[in-house]
């Protein structure tokens, strides 16, 4: 899952981004509305966490622009303006959810995951080829056996399972499971897939489609 956090409070942005990364999400950060809108239109995100009172371009304008596009990311407004009228205004602009500050981080994680599932049309529990992936609890089992995976392995597996048998390219995996600082010329995707294959066990579940990518 790839998330864009648009937040001008530096300390809060770093804390939230680090916390979401610990939950297995790829997170990019923008410190103002203009940079945030540029990143949101240049890259593919599942969810945008958007502060409202932003420099250079107000969060309301960013939200309106994102909502006007086709097939864009889900938008979660995260702002100190927490009155009922503010929530209504934010949702009217096209936001998909609204969480006032201060907030409980665990709730933020649950809301972000729920929005991502909604965007992908995916259920909370994914099942395929003997695998079960509880995306809320981040627990994977194969034929009843729990498989311990790293946060990045979980992210890659979720993308493959959500694809429901379709081929997912290395480029798509890199874009969706890693952030903007990932080097597109490294072997990081291939290495992660090799570890994931080994942990999932026999018979092998992940197929390499030569010249195209991977599928479960």
Question: What CATH code is carried by the domain that includes residue 166?
Answer: 1.10.10.10
135 and 183 part of one domain: yes
Segment (H or E) for 36: helix 33-42
17 and 113 part of one domain: yes
**Would you state the pLDDT for residue 138?**
86
What six digits make up the tokens of 168?
Answer: 């997912």
Percentage with pLDDT > 90 across the chain: 64
**Would you state the pLDDT for residue 70?**
72
What is the rounded distance in angstroms from the CA atom of residue 177 to the CA atom of residue 26? Answer: 6
Of 58, 91, 120, which residue constitutes the final position of a domain?
120
**Would you state the pLDDT for residue 18?**
96
pLDDT at 41 over 60: yes
83 and 147 part of one domain: no
**CATH code, domain with 106:** 3.40.50.2300
133 and 200 part of one domain: yes
94 and 185 part of one domain: no
**Would you state the pLDDT for residue 86?**
67
146 and 107 part of one domain: no
Percentage with pLDDT > 70 across the chain: 94
Can you give the residue range of the structural domain that contains 134?
Answer: 125-215
pLDDT at 27 over 90: yes
Tell me the residue ranges of DSSP E strands in 7-59.
26-30, 47-50
pLDDT at 82 over 60: no
What is the rounded distance in angstroms from the CA atom of residue 182 to the CA atom of residue 21? Answer: 14
Report whether 54 contacts 33 (CB < 8 A): yes
Q: What is the pLDDT of residues 90-138, one digit of tens each?
A: 678 888 899 988 899 999 999 999 898 887 666 778 998 889 999 878 8
Across the range 76-87, mean pLDDT stands at: 73
């Amino acid at each position: 899952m790839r998330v864009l956090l648009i937040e001008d409070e530096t300390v809060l942005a770093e804390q939230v981004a680090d916390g979401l990364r610990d939950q297995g999400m790829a997170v990019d950060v923008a410190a103002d509305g203009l940079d945030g809108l540029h990143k949101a239109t240049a890259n593919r995100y599942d969810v945008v966490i958007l502060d409202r009172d932003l420099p250079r371009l107000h969060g309301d304008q960013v939200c309106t622009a994102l909502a006007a596009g086709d097939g864009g990311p889900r938008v979660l407004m995260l702002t100190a303006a927490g009155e009922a009228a503010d929530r209504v205004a934010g949702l009217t602009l096209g936001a998909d959810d609204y969480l006032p500050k201060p907030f409980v981080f665990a709730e933020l994680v649950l809301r972000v995951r729920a929005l991502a599932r909604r965007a992908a049309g995916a259920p909370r529990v994914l099942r395929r080829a003997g695998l079960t992936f509880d995306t809320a609890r981040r627990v994977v089992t194969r034929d009843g056996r729990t498989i311990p995976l790293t946060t990045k392995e979980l992210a890659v597996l979720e993308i493959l399972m959500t694809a429901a048998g379709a081929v997912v390219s290395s480029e798509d995996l890199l874009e969706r499971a890693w952030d903007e600082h990932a080097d597109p010329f490294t072997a990081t995707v291939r290495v992660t897939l090799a570890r994931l294959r080994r942990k999932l066990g026999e018979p092998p579940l992940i197929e390499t489609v030569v010249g195209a990518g991977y599928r479960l």
